[in-house]
Chain A
Amino acid sequence: MSDNKVINGFTTAWKGLTLTLSHLFASSAKRKVISASDNNYFKQLEGTNTIQYPHQSLPVPEVGRYQLDVEIDDCIVCDLCAKICPVDCITIESIKATELIGNTSDGSPKRLYAAKFDIDMAKCMYCGLCTIVCPTECIVMTNQYDKTVFELKDLNYEFSDMTPEDTAEKRALLEKQQAEKQAAKLAAIQKKEAGE
């Protein structure tokens, strides 16, 4: 019984030692950098397993869902993405335009300026709901995954292309138009009252 135990101990230890030795000498084979969709991806059992990231990187599918990106020219500032976002990482400030700004690439009319369109990627949970609700498909997830930054605030992506002067100008225009409308309304009411 105890003899068996000793022999068993030695044979199992030797088995383990040969296993590690075979791995030690197989280490000259390096892992090939192939996509996860490749048929051989899960068959690379020999050699080291490390991918030396900054020097090598695994190819990711084009439809990868990593960073959010907004094509601001196609955005109609409908605010749907900000509303559906479960973690409230999208902040949008809109300014009504005084007239039709133009059309998006799919033909939707744009009537709002995006004074602010911020996505805080530090908060984002990558659920992709915003990309689903977007009516013009201007908010998408890209295959870019390495977005390391040194400051936390750099993770707040600002997509609005308007300068503070632009927004001030548009706000002034809107106020002026509203004031004019108000004045016109007042004038109409006064006229009405005067007419009675």
Chain B
Amino acid sequence: MNIYLTYFAIGIGLFAFSALFALFGVYAERKVAAFIQDRLGPTETGKFGLLQTLADGLKLIQKELIIPAAADKILFMMAPAIIFIAVYMGFAAMPWAPGVVPTSLNLGLYYIFAIVAIETLGILMAGWGSNNKYSILGAMRSVAQIISYEIPAGFALVSVVMIAQSLNMQTIAMQQGVLSTEGVKFLGFWNVSKIGGIFAWNIFRAPHLIIAFVIYFIASLAESNRAPFDIPEAESELVAGFHTEYTGWRFAFVFFAEYSMMFLVSMISVVLFLGAWNTPLPNIGSVHLATWTTGIAWGIIWVLLKSLLLVGAQMWIRWTLPRLRVDQLMNLCWKVLTPLAFLCMLISGIWRVFLM
């Protein structure tokens, strides 16, 4: 009985976290956008406008749920739930600190990749079910884009997995710091198992993993439908893309999913490349900074900080770079990122066999 209670508590906790993150993610996004454009952003609701998104959420809950007469009602109603649940389930296998992981799957990364891909299905259902030309255009673009970008993203991740020799997120996290049981080498020549810190992170384990990280970061922007790859939502062309027809809390859920997705892809980058819950501070001689700043509380702090930093970078990029055209988007994916990702995977194999 108790074990089920724990399951529920973890589920509710993760839901509360993603809801809270969505609320303050939207607020942060609006503030960052405003400051970059020399505006002020929300200032009126609460101190510095902090309660603005809460008020927006309350408003959305009270709104009427409109189902277009020509819509496919079942698809239309199920889509937001599927979109959100797909992203939310992805959090199940994410490690937060040493020993703190909702489910320690040995196929963790594979599971996350598979379950997040179901979001595409929800998007297609939303677009098709709305029976609206903008929605279906947005959904088609979104599906084409997500499926295309899953290839470079997947191969960038595979190149890490080949170095780490595990799909378990917690094992991959463990390898990147002072708690590692096998030796960690900085760029393949300097043993840093006792030093830890930033030098033990996967991104520095082999030089090509830096490129893999950049590939994954770019692909993750595309997978979460964010600028400069936001053609599925392209406000200036498609109203709002696949969620044009949604109102009330259904719309809120689509938004929730988008922001949870931002955090999830950032967290995947952090776990696979940026040392997961490991501290960036190294042990220097008798000053054991890395050992002191490793622990459950520290782990959660580090993972949150690093993920939020990446989320910040996503926002920064969104408000800087213009949107890519469809052909540019596909060119970048198939002609640049995919070959580079394959190359990274190849180097990973060679690296593993000959240099480790």
Q: A residues touching B (Cβ–Cβ < 8 Å)?
A: 6, 13, 16-17, 19-21, 23-24, 27, 47-50, 52
Contacts and interface: CB of A to CB of B under 8 A. Distances in A.
B38 interface: yes
B316 A24 contact: yes
Given A13-B321, A16-B321, A23 B40 contact: no
Contacts of B47: none
A52 B316 contact: no
B35 A52 contact: no
A162 to B, nearest CB: 44
Interface string B306-337: 00000000001101110000000000000010
A25 to B, nearest CB: 8
Nearest to B319: A20
A6 B39 CA distance: 33
A23 B35 contact: yes
Contacts of B37: 23
Contacts, number: 39
A52 B40 contact: yes
Nearest to A27: B35
Interface in B130-144: none
B36 A52 contact: no
Contact of A20 (B39, B40, B43, B316): B316
Nearest to A51: B40
Interface residues of B, number: 15
A21 B320 CA distance: 9
Contacts of A50: 38-40
A19 B317 CA distance: 11
B38 A23 contact: yes
Contacts of B321: 13, 16-17
User: Which of the listed residues B32, B36, B37, B317 has the most CB atoms from chain A within 10 Å of its own CB?
Assistant: B36
Interface in B147-206: none
Interface of B: 32, 34-40, 43, 316-317, 319-321, 336
A48 B316 contact: no
B336 to A, nearest CB: 8
B18 to A, nearest CB: 26
Nearest to B322: A16
10 contacts: A13-B320, A16-B321, A17-B321, A24-B35, A27-B34, A27-B35, A47-B38, A48-B35, A48-B39, A48-B40
A17 B227 CA distance: 13
Given A17-B316, A17-B320, A23 B39 contact: no
Contacts of A52: 40, 43
A17 B317 contact: yes
B38 A48 contact: yes
Contact of B36 (A6, A23, A47, A49): A23
A55 B340 CA distance: 54
A135 B28 CA distance: 59
A72 to B, nearest CB: 40
Q: Which 7 A-B pairs have the closest CB atoms?
A: A27-B35, A20-B320, A50-B40, A49-B38, A20-B36, A16-B320, A24-B35
